[in-house]
Every structure is written in C-alpha cells, then in structure tokens.
Amino acid sequence: KQVLPSDVKALVAFFERTEDNACVEDVLHMVIRALYGKAFLVSFIEQIELLGGCQLFLNLLH
C-alpha cells in the first residue's frame, strides 16, 4: 500500500480541526493497526519525513 502526501496532509488536517476525542481515538487506532503492515509503515514514514518529520505531529499537541 502506498501512502501519498495528500493522505498525511488530510490526516493532520482532520486532527487539527476535530474536537471529537472519541473519533480521534478511533482514527488513531485504525492508523496504528495499518502501521503493522511493513509496506504501509515504510510508505507512511517516508511521507512524514517529506512533510516535516515528527514535528508535524508534535505541533498537533499545542
């Protein structure tokens, strides 16, 4: 499975905008389960690195 930059951007935008913690938790669980697939994990990490690395997600904590 291939992860596109637009996939990661959409995921980040969702996390930035939503106020439904239960929904965020459900999405995070789905992403974590998907990351168990090596091809998905490699592709996901590549896209994260291209878009700013872990700082991309650390910014969501603010």
Instruction: Please spell the DSSP secondary structure of 27-61, one letter per residue.
Output: HHHHHHHHTTSHHHHHHHHHHHHHTTTTHHHHGGG
Q: Which pTM was predicted?
A: 0.79
pLDDT confidence of 56, banded at 50, 70, 90?
confident
The pLDDT value given to residue 60: 81
Burial 23-58 (b: 16+ CB within 10 A, else e): eeeeeeeeeeeeeeeeebeebbeebbeeeeeeebee
For the chain, how many structural domains are there in total?
A: 1
Residue 62 has pLDDT above 80, yes or no: no
**Whole domain around residue 45: which residue ranges?**
5-61
The pLDDT value given to residue 33: 94
pLDDT digits (tens, 9 = 90+) for 3-52: 999 999 999 999 999 999 999 999 999 999 998 999 999 999 999 999 99
Q: What is the DSSP-derived secondary structure letter of residue 13?
A: H
